[in-house]
Amino acid sequence: MAQRYYTETHEWVALDGSVATVGITDFAQAQLGDVVFLELPRVGKLLEAGDTFGVVESVKAASDLYSPVAGTVLEVNETLNANPEHVNEDPYGNGWLIRVELNGDLSQGLLDEAGYKAFSEGQSH
Amino acid sequence: MVDFAGWELPQQYRSVKDEQEAVRTAAGVFDVSHMGRYEVRGAAAGDFLQGVVTNDLGRLPPNRAQYNLLCRPDGGIVDDLVVYRGDPAWFVVVNAANREKDMSWLREHAPAGVEVVDRSDELGLLAVQGPRAEEQLPVADTDLAGLRYFGIAEATLAGARTMISRTGYTGEDGFELFVPAASLAATWDALLRAGVQPCGLAARDVCRLEAGLRLYGSDMDETTNPYEAGLGWTVKLGKGDFVGREALLRIKEVGPSRELVGLGCADRGIPRHGAVVRLGGRDIGVVTSGTYSFWLRRGIAMAFVEAGAAPLGGQVEVATRSGEAAAEVVPLPFYRGSARRAAVTQG
C-alpha cells in the first residue's frame, strides 16, 4: 500500500507513479454518517489542488470534496452509484472516489499519517 | 455507553440504515434518558394538568397515556409532551431541550398543593421499538399482549420493577421503559441479549420523520400554533378552560396562514432543515425537517408552506446543495408502521 497523505478537509491521497487515488478519510466518513449519494466529476476534468471536485451527501449533511492534488481526472469510482456505503465501510479501499493523473508534484501542504491523526483528534473534541 | 451524568448519546452504533431496518422489521432500543421526566403530585394534579395542556385528560382513564401540547396564552407551542396517568401518580415526559423551561412553566402555573418533581435523574428511559418489540421484551410477569396502545403497566425487567408504556416515536409498535437508574445498564444488556438492536439518535430521527411525527425545535416552536403544525387534533376546545384556549379559538376561526406538509423528492435531492421551498420560482415556504430515507429510498421532508399553496399531489422545488430538486407534496405520514396496527387492534 502506497503511503497516504491527508488534507485538513479530510481527503486522503495515495500515489502510484504519477496516478493519485483520492478518497475521504475514516474520520470523515464517521463524522458524516451513512453516505447516500456522491456527485463526482467527469473523466477528463482538470483540477487544481484545493478545487471542489464533488459533493458527498450523507444522512446528516452535504459536504464539498476538495482535491488534494492538481491534475486530470483519469477514473471515477462508478460502483459508488449503486453502493455509496463503500465509502463508510472501506474508505481507504473500495470507497475511493477518483484517480487523477498528476500535473506536477504533490503539494507541500499535505499532512502525513501522524500529522493528520493529531489534526483530526483535535477536531473531534 | 449508558452514561447518566451527561447526555453524550451516540448518533449511531452501526449504520443508520441497518439500525432503522431493525426498528422497521424487528426491534431496536434507543436510550432516551436525556428527555425530561416529571412526576406531578397532589390531589389536584389531574385538574392542574388539564388546565395547562391542550388535549382532554378528562377522557383519560388510569394507566393510560396521551399525547399533548403545552401552549402559551397566545397559542404558541411551549412544548409537546406525553402525559401518563398512573394510579395515582401523574407523569409527564418532555423534550430534553425544554427540561428547564417546562419545569418553570409547570411550576408557575401549579396551584398550592400540587408539586412538580423532576425525576429525570433517578429514572432512565429506554424506548424499545419495532414489530417484534412485544416478543423480544424480556418480561415474564406482565401480559404484554394485553397492554393497549398508549397503555401503562408495571413489569419486572432485569430484576427491577419498571413502569412501561406502549408508546414511542418511530411509527412502530413498542414500549418505553422507565427504568430505575441503578438498573439501567443491566436492562440495556438484557435487551441486547434478547436480540434487540441498539440504535442511535440518527435512526430515531429518520424513523420519526417517516412516521410524520413533529420534532420540537425543528417543526414547531413558540412561534408555531397547533393548527398550522397539523396538531389541531390534540386541541380540545370544548373541554373547559386551559392556557391558550382563547387564542386557539380565534386562530381556528380565522384558519392558519401556513401549513406543515410532506415532501418527497423525485431525484437525488436531499431536502435539509432550512431549505427554501419554491413554486414556479416563488418562495412559498421552508423545510423544517428533512433527510434521506433508506427505507423509502428517497429524500423526504416536512415543510412549512403558505396555506393552500402546495396541495397534495402538487409539484414544488426544494433548494439543495447542488441546485433545485423537484419534490412532490405527499400525505403525512410518509410511512405507517406497526404502531398503527397496535392502535387499531387494541386502542
Domains with residue ranges and CATH for chain B: 16-210 (3.30.1360.120)
How far is it, in rounded angstroms, from Cα B52 to Cα B61? 18
3-class state of residue A60 by DSSP: coil
Confidence at A108, pLDDT banded by 50, 70, 90: confident
The answer as to CATH 3.40.50.300 being correct for domain A4-119 is no
How far is it, in rounded angstroms, from Cα A84 to Cα A82? 6
Interface of B with A (CB under 8 A): 11-12, 15-17, 202, 206, 268, 270, 272, 291-292, 294, 320-322
Tell me the whole-structure pTM to 2 decimals: 0.90
CB contacts, 8 Å: A36 with chain B: 270, 292, 294
Q: Nearest-CA distance from B85 to chain A in Å?
A: 37
Residue segments in chain B with a per-residue pLDDT below the cut of 70: 1-9, 344-347
Residue B149 corresponds to which cell in the numbers above?
396502545
- Cis amide bond preceding B333, omega within 30: yes
Cβ-based burial of B289 (10 A; exposed 0-12, middle 13-18, buried ≥19): buried
Backbone angles phi, psi at B221, to 5 degrees: -160, -160
Run of H or E including B126: strand B123-129
How far is it, in rounded angstroms, from Cα B195 to Cα B29? 10
Residue B183 corresponds to which cell in the numbers above?
438498573
Give residue A124's pLDDT. Answer: 65
**Best of A35, A57, A59, A80 to mutate (most B CBs within 10 Å, chain B):** A59
Residue B249 corresponds to which cell in the numbers above?
379559538
Give residue B344's pLDDT. Answer: 65
Give residue B203's pLDDT. Answer: 94
Run of H or E including B135: helix B133-136
3-class state of residue B156 by DSSP: strand
Angle of helix B16-25 versus helix B201-210 axis, rounded to 10: 50
Confidence at A62, pLDDT banded by 50, 70, 90: confident
- Cis amide bond preceding B256, omega within 30: no
Query: What is the DSSP pairing of strand A98-102 with strand A19-24?
Result: antiparallel
Task: Report the 10 Å Cβ neighbour count for B146.
Answer: 9
Task: Report the 10 Å Cβ neighbour count for A47.
Answer: 21
Q: Nearest-CA distance from A80 to chain B in Å?
A: 14
Give residue B267's pLDDT. Answer: 73
Q: What is the CA radius of gyration of chain A?
A: 13
Q: Nearest-CA distance from A100 to chain B in Å?
A: 23
**Cβ separation B294–A34 shorter than 8 A:** yes
How far is it, in rounded angstroms, from Cα B98 to Cα B96? 5
Distances (CA, A) of B45 to B38, B85, B101: 12, 10, 19
Give residue B1's pLDDT. Answer: 35
Amino acid at B189: D
Give residue B7's pLDDT. Answer: 63
Residue A85 corresponds to which cell in the numbers above?
456505503
How far is it, in rounded angstroms, from Cα B178 to Cα B99? 17
Tell me what ipTM this predicted complex has: 0.75
How far is it, in rounded angstroms, from Cα B311 to Cα B271? 18
Run of H or E including A37: strand A35-39
Give residue A122's pLDDT. Answer: 83
Give residue B347's pLDDT. Answer: 43
Nearest Cα residue to B68 out of B51, B85, B56, B86: B56
Give residue B340's pLDDT. Answer: 77
Give residue B331's pLDDT. Answer: 96
Nearest Cα residue to B169 out of B333, B1, B345, B347: B333
